Structure 1
Amino acid sequence: MIQISQLEKKYIVKGQAVQALRNVSLTIEQASIFGIIGRSGAGKSTLLRTLNLLERPSAGQILFEGEDITAYDQAQLLKLRQRVGMVFQHFNLLNAKTIAENIAFPLILSGNTNAQQRRDRVNELLELVGLQEHGHKYPSQLSGGQKQRVGIARALANYPHLLLCDEATSALDPETTQSILRLLSDINQKLGLTIVLITHEMQVIRSICDQVAVIEGGEIVEQGAVADVFLHPKHNVTQKLVAEHQAFDLEQLPQWNTATGSQLLRLTYVGNAAHEPILSRIAAQTQAEITILQGTISRVKQTPYGQLIVALNASAAESAKVLQLLREMDVTVDVLPADPAPAQGE
């Protein structure tokens, strides 16, 4: 669907070159939901806006449906933007027009439909986003979540092949955010629409994305399947983003003295293993003592997972047996420091 190769973007600010994107390469599969996450200023908005050439890259290539869009002329660019819908953080609705008129506006601009076709398409989209009774209202009469639903409907008006979401939920409360994420997920499944979204919240990525790229300083520092990146973050930036949304607080764990033979382990199990009595089976097959210190069971999109922090007290031979059994049960085991370093000043 989309292949980005060695993308660069430079700005000239007060006579100085500022590098916004550096050597970015990504592949976004058709009909997937792809998330780009990073802190403010990391370059995620710039990257998103290169996908419809609102920002033209300084170097590199973007293949969209097999064509290099960075080589497009103005006429080709206009047609591209009819194939790419965009949803904005602050809705960007026309306040003097009704909801139906806002949704119809891209259809009028494209010039490809008559009045009856526009009415039919608007009604179809109002039903899709759950606003059938609100077409006659104005944006000022709607809640934030309803305004964003209008923004999504408007972005879908011209039957786009790609939907770009620029922090589409960051202005919404948590409950409304979840309803918008469910809507985007439903649209992805019903229409087979490719969605690329940017966010600074790992919870958004975890809820609906299939793949994720982590951006920092204009560079992609980590990418992969969401479950892999979320459960086994490798880069320091990713680890910090994940830690903000995990139930674990390793600093609150008791200090386990290595002299006792105890080991601190983080156990991660995904899919069907999340519902299996793993520790009960370990206890039945070994003499090891396992104490659960912290734990959670949740989902990454539709995939269940579990994570436990446990203390393992056993002989070397029994510990080795436990680790072997865990791995045979498709449990990922990370050995944690037994004596966490005390905070400065202690």
Structure 2
Amino acid sequence: MIQIEHLEKHYHAGGRTIHALQNIHLQIQKGQIFGIIGRSGAGKSTLLRTLNLLERPSAGKILIEGEDITQYDSRQLHALRQRTGMVFQHFNLLYAKTIAENIDFPLRLTGQYSKEQRQQRVTELLELVGLTAQRHQYPAQLSGGQKQRVGIARALANYPHLLLCDEATSALDPETTQSILRLLSEINQKLGLTIVLITHEMQVIRSICDQVAVIDAGQIVENGLVIDVFLHPQHPVTRSMVAENQDQDIGFLREMERDPGSVLVRLTYVGSATYAPILSRIAAQTSAQIAILQGTISRIKDTPYGQLLIELRANPEQVAQVLSLLRSWQVTADIIETETGVA
């Protein structure tokens, strides 16, 4: 649905040229939830805002359903923005209007709907986001999560093909964040809506996204399926963000008393292998000894996965046998190295 080619965005300030986006290439499939993650100042907001031309790129193409939107005239651009909903970090609601009036506002601006049609659409959206009872309340009477639900309903008012979420959960507490992410996932499934979201939180990406692009200093440094990027990060920035999310620090290995010749291995299981008795099978088929140091079982969107950090007490021949067995069971095994030379 969306194809970005050679995208550049430059600013000129104080006699300097600032390269906000550099040679961006991305493909976003119709119906996907696509995440863009990066630290503050990486360029993710700028990239998101090029998709409805709130930021005009300096060079490159943005093809949406085969049309290069960078070539649109004012009439075409107006139509594009009607087809593109946007959800903001700080809600951007009209505080002098009721919840129903906030949702109705973009419908009124189009001039395309009768009052009855608008009221019906508002009722549908209030039901969709779970705020039917709050119809006549004002934003100041709502919680942060409820305000964001209003923002989502308003963004959906004009039947958009694309929904852009600009740090839509970063102002919310963890429990509310999860409820908003579940709502976005339900909307994606019910409406088949393409959603592009930006965030600095890997947990948001892991919860609902199908694919992710990692941006750093205006460049895409890693891009792929979430499960591949999360479990096998390649770029240092990605590895750092994944480590922060997992809260796994292997610094304790420096002080750990270990058997001479033992090997530290990180095992990664995906899908049905997550619940298989892998370590029991190893113990039954080899004479290697295994100590579990860390472990987690969780999900990336709808896919279960597990990761274990183990100490493998075995000679080189036994280590090779264990690694061969793990590969045959579709388990990824990475030998860990630390600054102290642990391998």
Post-superposition CA distance 1:95-121 (Å, at most 9, x none): 111100100111111111010000000
Structure 2 match to 1:156 = 156
Measured after TM superposition, the shift of residue 253 of structure 1 is 2.8
Letter in 2 for 1:129: V
In structure 1, the residue matched to 2:22 is 22
Q: How many aligned residue pairs are there?
A: 342
Aligned residue in 2 for 1:313: 313
Correspondence 1:33 to 2:46: no
Give the whole-Å Cα distance in 2 for the aligned partners of 1:207 and 1:236: 22
Cα distance in 2 for partners of 1:259, 1:246 equals: 27
Q: 2:246 — aligned with what?
A: 246
Where 2:245 maps in the other structure, the secondary structure is coil
Q: Secondary structure at the match of 1:53?
A: coil
* Equivalence map 1:176-255=2 (5 Å): 176-253=176-253
Per-residue CA distance 1:167-208 (angstroms, 9 max, x = gap): 000000000000000000000000000000000000000000
Once the two structures are TM-superposed, the CA of residue 249 in structure 1 deviates from its matched residue by 1.4
User: Aligned partners of 2:319 and 2:173: how far apart in 1?
Assistant: 46
1:54-133 aligned at under 5 Å gives the runs 54-133=54-133
| Cα pair distance change 1:26/1:339, threshold 3 Å | closer
Gaps of 5+ in 1: none
Contact 1:247 1:296 survives alignment (8 Å): no
Per-residue deviation, 1:31: 0.4
Distance 1:142 1:271, change over 3 A: same
Alpha-carbon separation, structure 2, partners of 1:338 and 1:56: 45
Contact 1:255/1:339 (CA < 8 Å) preserved in 2? no
- For normalisation by structure 1, the TM-score amounts to 0.96
Percent identical pairs in the alignment equals: 70
- 1:245: how far off? 1.0
Does the aligned pair in 2 maintain the 1:19–1:218 contact within 8 Å?
Answer: yes
Counterpart code for 2:188: N
Q: Which aligned segments of 4 or more residues in structure 1 are displaced greater than 2 angstroms?
A: 253-259, 338-342
Residues 92, 314 of structure 1: alpha-carbon distance in 2 compared, 3 angstrom cutoff: same
SS at structure 2 position matched to 1:311 = strand
What are the residue-to-residue correspondences of 1:326-341 with 2, within 5 Å? 326-337=326-337, 340=340
| Partner SS state of residue 340, structure 2 | coil
Counterpart contact for 1:92–1:151, Cα < 8 Å: yes
Q: For residues 180 and 259 of structure 1, do their structure 2 counterparts lie closer, same or farther at Cα, with a shift above 3 Å needed?
A: closer
1:338 CA drift (Å): 6.5
What is the CA deviation profile of residues 118-156 of structure 1, one whole-angstrom value per residue up to 9, with x for unaligned ones? 000000000000000111011111010000000000000
Task: Output the CA distance in 2 between the equivalents of 1:278 and 1:300.
Answer: 21
Distance 1:125 1:176 in 2: 19
Partners of 1:249 and 1:154 lie apart in 2 by 42
Q: CA deviation at 1:340?
A: 3.2
Amino acid at match of 1:161: H
Equivalent pair of 1:257/1:339 in contact (CA under 8 Å): no
Matched-pair contact (CA < 8 Å) for 1:36–1:215: yes
State the superposition RMSD in angstroms.
Answer: 1.4
* Deviation (angstroms), 1:16: 2.0
Question: Secondary structure at 2:214's aligned position in 1?
Answer: strand
Helix, strand or coil at the partner of 1:70:
helix
Q: Under a length normalisation based on structure 2, what TM-score does the superposition of the two structures give?
A: 0.97
Whole-angstrom CA distance in 1 between matches of 2:140 and 2:285 = 65
Say if 2:259 and 2:313, in contact at 8 Å, map to a contact too: no
Alignment-mate amino acid for residue 102 of structure 1:
N
Letter of the 1:91 counterpart: F
**Contact 1:167–1:198 under 8 Å retained in 2:** yes
Query: Cα offset for 1:337?
Result: 1.8
Paired with 2:95 and 2:33, the residues of 1 have a C-alpha distance of 30
Q: CA deviation at 1:341?
A: 5.8
Q: CA deviation at 1:315?
A: 1.6
> Whole-Å Cα distance in 1 between the matches of residues 70 and 136 of structure 2?
40
Q: 1:74 to 1:51 in 2, by over 3 A?
A: same
Post-superposition offset of 1:255: 5.3
Q: Secondary structure at the match of 1:321?
A: helix
Alpha carbons 1:256, 1:263 under 8 Å: kept: no
SS at match of 1:260: coil
* Residues 253 and 293 in structure 1, CA contact (< 8 A), matched pair in contact too: no
